[in-house]
Structure 1
Amino acid sequence: MKDLFIKTELQKKWLKKLKEVEKPFKKTSAQVDELAIFPQENIEKLTEIGYTSLAVPKKFGGEEISVYDMVLFQETLASYDSNTALTIGWNLGVAGEIFEKKEWKRSQLQFLAVELLKGATINRSASEVLTGSPSRGGRPGTKAAKRDGNWVLNGRKAYTTGAPMLTYFLTSAWVEEKEQVGFFLLHKDLEGLSIDETWDVISMRGTGSHDLVLENVKVDESMLVELPETPQGGKKLRGWILHIPACYLGIAQAARDYAVHFANQHKPNSLNGPISQLPNVQQLIGEIDLALIQSRHLIYSVAEAYDDPKRRALLTNELAAVKHTVTNTAVAVVDKAMRIVGAKSLQRTNPLQRYYRDVRAGLHNPPIDDMTIKQLAVAAIEKESNKSI
C-alpha cells in the first residue's frame, strides 16, 4: 500500500538503503524489547549511512528532506523496529523543525548542521514529572540563572527519548532573568549533566527514555538558543511532529502483515484450507486494510500540504488530527490482528504482543487526544460565532 506514496528518486534511494537494514533490525527487535536494552547498534548503523542528518539543509551540505520524506522513511523503519524508529524519529523531527523555523542565529544553525553531519544526535528535553506534558503549558521546574556571564542550570527532565545516544539535549528551563521559558543546547559531556536510568515501562522498552539530571550545569551565554515568542501551549504548527504517527502506522502495518501471513498459513484440521477462507477472518482483514488506507492517505496528504508554504498557511488542527487518528487506528489494527491469530498472539515469542504494547505508547505522545478534540470543537464554535458577528 505504501508504494503508492513514493514520488521521488530521493525517496527511492533512501527506501533502498533502509531495506538493507530490515533483516538485522527485525532480528534484534524481540531481544531489545525483552531485555529493555537500547538498540545502540541500530542507531550506529543509521548514523553510519547518514540517516540521522537527513534534515540538514542543502546549503549546509545536507539532503534537506521534507516532512513527507520523513513520514515515508519513519513508517518504513518502524515496521522493522519500533524502538529504533521512535528514537531516531525525535532526532529527525527536532533537527527538521530547528532548520525550518530558523529561530536560531545562523552561526548556531551552521554549528548544529556541522555536528549532525559528523554524526551527532539531538532531541528536546522538555517534559517533567511535576509539570506533565509541556504541550499543556506548565512552567518547567528546571531553572537557569546567570552567573559570571554564564548560564547555570539545575533540574530534572523526564522521558528523554534516546538519552543513551544523544550528543545534544535541547533543554527547556525557566530563565529567571528573562521571566520566560528558554531552550538551552547542552552537550552530553558537560560537567554536572547525567542520565538517571529510570525508564521501566511495558511499551517502547528500548527507547532509553530516561531522566536527564542537571546539577549546576554551566554553559556559555550563546547556548541559550531559543526564547520562543509563542508561549508554551500556544498555537504553533509543528509538521515535524508527524514522525510520531508515522512510527505507529509502521507498527500497525507490521502487525497487519504478520496476521495476513498467519491467516494464509494456519490450517487447523477442522478446515480444508487456511483460516483466511473464513468469513470472520476476511472481515477482520478487510477492516484492517480499510483503516490503514484511511490513515495513510490522511497522514501523507497533510504532510504534503505542510511542505507547501501556501497550503501550510491553511492548516489549522490537521496535524493534531493526524496524530489522534493514526495512533488510535494503530491500536485498533493491532487488536484485530491479534483476534485473527488468537491465543498464540499472547505468547511472549509472538511479535503481536510486542506490537500491541508498543502502539499503546502512542496515546501518550503529544498532542494528547483530549486536547486535540477540544481544539477541534473550539475552532468549529469560534468559526460559527464569527459568522454571526
Structure 2
Amino acid sequence: MAQDDPAAFDAMLAELAERRQEFREQRYVPGDFVDRLKRLGLYRCATPERFGGETMPPAEFLKKIERISAVDGSTGWVASFGSQLVYLGSLPLETQAKLYAGGPDVVFAGALFPIQRATPTERGFLVNGRWKFASGCMAADIVCVGIPGDDLTSGKPRGALIRPQRLEIVQDWDVVGMRGTGSFDLIAEDVEVDREWTFIRGGEPVVDEPLYRYPAITYVAQSLSVVSAGVARAALDFAEGAGSGRDSITGAPKLADRAYYRAGIAEAEAALRSARAYFYEAADEAWETLVAGDLVSDEQNAHLRLSAAHLARTASEVVHKVVSLSGTAAIYQDHPLPALLGDALVPQEHAFLSPAMYDAAGAVLMGLPPTVPAFR
C-alpha cells in the first residue's frame, strides 16, 4: 500500500498527464487506472478500520484529490468518491462485513436520482427504473440507486446497493465539462435487493469511529468542491507560465507586459488562495473537534458547507477570469483553457454546492434551522 509514498503518487500523476486525453475521449476513467488509485489507498481511507480501512483525516484526503484534479478534473472527481464510503456506515455491520470481505479497497458509485419505483418483496425490494449521473460506474465494485422511502426512513429515500453487473450502463455522457467522469445512466429491470443492502443517505452510522462522526453529506460536498480548486490551480499555473510567452499577432506587448493581465491574474490568485484557506481551516477545525471526542457543531458544519460552496464558486470565477484575460488564443479547441473552463463549470452546479448553501449556512449561523434538506 502506497498511501504515504510521495514517489508513487507523483508517478501516478505523471501517468495521468499522459492519459487524460484518452479518458476524456472515451468519457470515463478505466479500471486499470482506478486500480492504481486503489494502490495509493484512496479507496480504503474511508473504509471502517474494523474492516481493514486506513483512516485519512479529511483535509489530507482532500489535498490529494486537489492535486489529482490539477492534472485532470475528471479523474479527481472519480477519485473523490473514495470519501463516499462514509454513506454506508448506516448499513448493518453484517452487511458491511460482506461488502469488505474481499478487502478494504471498495469503489463506490452512486446514481440516487431520480427516485425510481421499488416493489416490496419478502426479502427486500424489486427495483426497476433508470437513474442519472452514476459517476465512476465503469470501474465501480458497488453502485447505489435511489428508491422510495417508507415509515422506517421517515420518508427519506433509500439507497439500494447493487453490483454493477446486474445493471445496464447506458453510455450517454456528452457534456462540456468533466467529460471523463463516466457519469452514465443506470437501468435496472426486476433486480431484487435484500433490505439489509439498503441505507439512508446521511443515516445514523453503526460504526463508532471519528470519520463516521464527521457529517457524511458534508464530507461528500467537500470532496466534490475541492476538484474545482485543482482545476483553478491548473488554470492559474498555465496563465502565470504563459504570460511571458509569444508575442501578440497584432504586435501588442506580451501578456506579462500588460498591467491588466498582471493585476487580473494576481487578483485571481488571491481569491483562490483565500477561499482555499477558509475551506481547509474549516475541515481541520472539525476534525480536531472529533479527535478530541466531541461532535461537530451545527455552526462548524455550516462553515464546512459554506466554505465548500464558496470554493467551488470562486474556483469557477477564477478560471473564467483567466480565460477572459488570455486573448484569442484561448478560443481554440486545442488550447488548454477551454477544457479547464468546462471542468470548472461542473462542481458549482452540483446540488450540494449550489447557491442555496449560502442561505442555509447563513440561517444556521443566525441560530435558525437550515433552509435546505440534507444539510448535515
- For normalisation by structure 2, the TM-score amounts to 0.83
8 A Cα contact 1:127 1:157, kept in partner: yes
Tell me what 1:312 maps to. 296
Residues in 2 aligned to 1:26 and 1:301: alpha-carbon distance in whole angstroms: 30
AA aligned opposite 1:366: A
Q: 2:29 matched to 1:39?
A: yes
Q: 2:158 matched to 1:182?
A: yes
Residues in 1 aligned to 2:276 and 2:324: alpha-carbon distance in whole angstroms: 22
Residues in 1 aligned to 2:245 and 2:201: alpha-carbon distance in whole angstroms: 57
Q: CA deviation digits over 1:279-299, x for unaligned, max 9?
A: 222101211210121021011
Residues in 1 aligned to 2:83 and 2:39: alpha-carbon distance in whole angstroms: 19
AA aligned opposite 2:296: R
* Change beyond 3 A, Cα 1:72–1:348: same
* Change beyond 3 A, Cα 1:145–1:116: farther
AA aligned opposite 1:346: I
Tell me what 1:95 maps to. 85
AA aligned opposite 2:129: G
Residues in 2 aligned to 1:293 and 1:121: alpha-carbon distance in whole angstroms: 31
Q: 2:22 matched to 1:60?
A: no
8 A Cα contact 1:161 1:209, kept in partner: yes
- Alpha-carbon deviation of 1:377? 4.2
Backbone CA RMSD of aligned residues: 2.8
- Alpha-carbon deviation of 1:77? 0.6
Q: 2:10 matched to 1:25?
A: no
AA aligned opposite 1:369: S
Residues in 1 aligned to 2:266 and 2:241: alpha-carbon distance in whole angstroms: 14
AA aligned opposite 2:191: V
Matches within 5 A, 1:1-389: 13-33=4-24, 35-40=25-30, 41-90=32-81, 92-98=82-88, 102-115=89-102, 117=104, 119-128=105-114, 140=115, 142-175=116-149, 178=152, 180=155, 181-190=157-166, 193-226=167-200, 238-268=218-248, 274-308=254-288, 309=290, 310=294, 312-313=296-297, 314-379=299-364, 382=367
AA aligned opposite 1:342: G
Residues in 2 aligned to 1:23 and 1:185: alpha-carbon distance in whole angstroms: 34
- For normalisation by structure 1, the TM-score amounts to 0.81
Residues in 2 aligned to 1:229 and 1:253: alpha-carbon distance in whole angstroms: 35
Gaps of 5+ in 2: 205-214, 370-376
8 A Cα contact 1:144 1:153, kept in partner: yes
- Alpha-carbon deviation of 1:380? 5.3
AA aligned opposite 2:265: I
Q: CA deviation digits over 1:220-275, x for unaligned, max 9?
A: 33222448668xxxx98622421111100000000100110101333459889853
Residues in 2 aligned to 1:120 and 1:44: alpha-carbon distance in whole angstroms: 10
AA aligned opposite 1:329: T
Q: CA deviation digits over 1:37-56, x for unaligned, max 9?
A: 31214323213444322222
- Alpha-carbon deviation of 1:167? 1.7
AA aligned opposite 1:85: G
Tell me what 1:134 maps to. none
Residues in 2 aligned to 1:150 and 1:273: alpha-carbon distance in whole angstroms: 69
Gaps of 5+ in 1: 1-9, 129-139, 385-389
AA aligned opposite 1:54: C
Q: CA deviation digits over 1:41-83, x for unaligned, max 9?
A: 4323213444322222333222211211111110001011111
AA aligned opposite 1:199: W
SS at match of 1:264: coil
Q: CA deviation digits over 1:125-174, x for unaligned, max 9?
A: 2122xxxxxxxxxxx2x133232434211222111111211121122211
Q: CA deviation digits over 1:21-48, x for unaligned, max 9?
A: 2222112223433x25312143232134
- Alpha-carbon deviation of 1:97? 4.3
